């Protein structure tokens, strides 16, 4: 039982459209798992199901040791989530946002104070404490949103296209944060459409039309398809130039 996430034939249908088709994957504890796919391939839907924001039509998902459909509350306490839309309150100050999310997860006040000081120090952002979040540059907002999502020390953090619309330097810094987080034993489940970022992941899965077409480490994936980058591998699979390397059962 060393998996952070285990899914068995997880399926989500909207009417006749199957967004996620019999998804069967295992994500190991402490790894950085890249969840790749074109827009509309079903990755956001799959992630929403894993977070308990959306109920699966059929199949099973065990997240942080609990069945998402049966015990969503146990799952929710053990995960963090950062949506692709920026998800802090712009009209609240930096420390007020931290306080709010910490309070939502039931952190005692004294501990919030001590931990939020540590957090701002770690980000080297102590002078930003009293600034309104809406006045921060986009890069800071993103880093802050991520720090808030892992403030309650979840077992898994789900990042839905966390680096959308950020400059390359900030993206680098953001990935350093992700590495540091994984180093602390938190599993990182991240969707992205920047293929260069996929190279930073321990393992990646590539989703095409609701199904997983490949699941492997970036290096193994490139070797099997004889390509130079994950981006090339992704294009081959998405266009159907290569047959899927991964099948359920």
Partner 1 sequence: MKRPPSPAARLFRAFTLKEFRHIFRDKRTLLVLLGMPVVQIVLFGFAITTEAREARVVLLSPSPGAAERRVTDRLLSSDYFELSAVASSPSAVERALRRGEADVALVFEPAFDERLARDGKARVQLVVDATNPGLAAQFSGHASAIIAAAAVELAGGAPPPLAAETRLLHNPGMKAAYNFVPGVAGFILMLVCAMMTSVSIVREKENGTMDMLLVSPARPWMIIAAKLVPYFTLSCVNLATILLLSVGVLGVPVAGSPGGVVAVSLLFILVSLSIGIFVSTVARDQVVAMLVSGMVLMMPVVLLSGLIFPVENMPPLLEWLSRLIPARWYIAAMKKIMIEGAPLHLVTGEILALAATGAALLLLGLKKFNDRVT
Residue closer to partner 1 (CB basis): 139 or 244? 139
Task: Note whether 207 and 42 are within 8 A (CB).
Answer: yes
Distance CA 29, CA 124 (A): 28
In the list 20, 23, 79, 213, the residue contacting partner 1 (rule: CB under 8 A) is 79
The interface mask with partner 1, positions 149-188, x = CB under 8 A, is x---------------------------------------
Residue 246 binds partner 1, judged by CB under 8 A: no
Q: Does 70 bind partner 1 (CB under 8 A)?
A: no
38/53 with CB nearer partner 1: 53
CB 104, min distance to partner 1, A: 5
Q: How far is CA 9 from CA 3, 42, 49, 63, in A?
A: 16, 14, 13, 14
Residue 54 interacting with partner 1 (CB under 8 A) = yes
Q: From the list 34, 52, 162, 218, which residue makes contact with partner 1 (rule: CB under 8 A)? A: 52
Q: Does 63 bind partner 1 (CB under 8 A)?
A: no
Q: How far is the CB of 159 from partner 1 (least distance, A)?
A: 12
32 to 43, 55, 88, 130, 131: CA distances (angstroms): 16, 25, 24, 33, 32
Between 69 and 123, name the residue whose CB sits nearer to partner 1. 69
Residue 146 interacts with partner 1 (CB under 8 A): yes or no = no
In whole angstroms, what is the distance from residue 159 CA to residue 85 CA? Answer: 11
Decide: is 128 part of the binding site for partner 1 (CB under 8 A): no
CB of 41 to partner 1, least distance (A): 20
Three-state DSSP class for 211? strand
Q: What residues form DSSP beta bridges with 17?
A: 14
Q: How far, in Å, are 21, 146, 211, 228 from residue 41 at the CA level?
A: 10, 24, 8, 23
User: What's the distance, CA 230 to chain centroid?
Assistant: 18
Residues from 80 through 119 that contact partner 1 (CB under 8 A): 80-92, 96, 99-109
- DSSP 3-state of 14: strand
**Do 226 and 195 contact (CB within 8 A), yes or no?**
no
- DSSP line for 67-93: ETTT-HHHHHHHEEEE-SS--S-TTSB
Q: Is 224 in the site for partner 1 (CB under 8 A)?
A: no
Least distance from partner 1 to the Cβ atom of residue 4, Å: 16
Which residue, 157 or 204, is less far from partner 1 as judged by CB? 157
The residues in 30-49 that bind partner 1, with binding defined as CB under 8 A, are none
Residues contributing to the site for partner 1 (CB under 8 A): 51-55, 73, 76-77, 79-92, 96, 99-109, 149
């Amino acid at each position: 039982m060393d998996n952070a996430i285990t899914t068995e034939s997880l399926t989500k249908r909207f009417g006749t459209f199957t967004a996620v088709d019999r998804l069967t994957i295992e994500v190991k504890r402490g790894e950085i798992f890249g969840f790749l796919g074109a827009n509309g391939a079903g990755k956001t839907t799959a992630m929403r199901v894993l977070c308990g924001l959306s109920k699966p039509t059929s199949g099973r998902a065990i997240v942080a040791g609990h069945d998402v459909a049966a015990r969503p509350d146990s799952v929710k306490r053990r995960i963090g989530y950062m949506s692709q839309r920026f998800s802090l309150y712009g009209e609240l100050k930096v420390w007020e946002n931290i306080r709010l999310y910490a309070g939502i997860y039931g952190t005692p006040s004294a501990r919030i104070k001590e931990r939020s000081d540590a957090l701002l120090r770690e980000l080297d952002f102590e002078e930003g404490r009293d600034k309104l979040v809406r006045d921060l540059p986009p890069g800071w907002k993103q880093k802050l949103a991520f720090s808030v999502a892992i403030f309650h020390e979840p077992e898994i953090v789900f990042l839905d296209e966390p680096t959308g619309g950020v400059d390359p330097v900030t993206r680098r810094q953001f990935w350093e944060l992700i590495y540091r987080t994984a180093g602390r034993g938190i599993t990182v489940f991240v969707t992205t459409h920047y293929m260069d970022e996929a190279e930073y992941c321990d393992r990646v899965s590539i989703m095409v039309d609701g199904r997983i077409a490949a699941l492997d480490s970036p290096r193994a994936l490139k070797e099997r398809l004889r390509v130079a980058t994950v981006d090339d591998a992704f294009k081959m699979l998405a266009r159907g130039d290569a047959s899927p390397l991964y099948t359920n059962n």
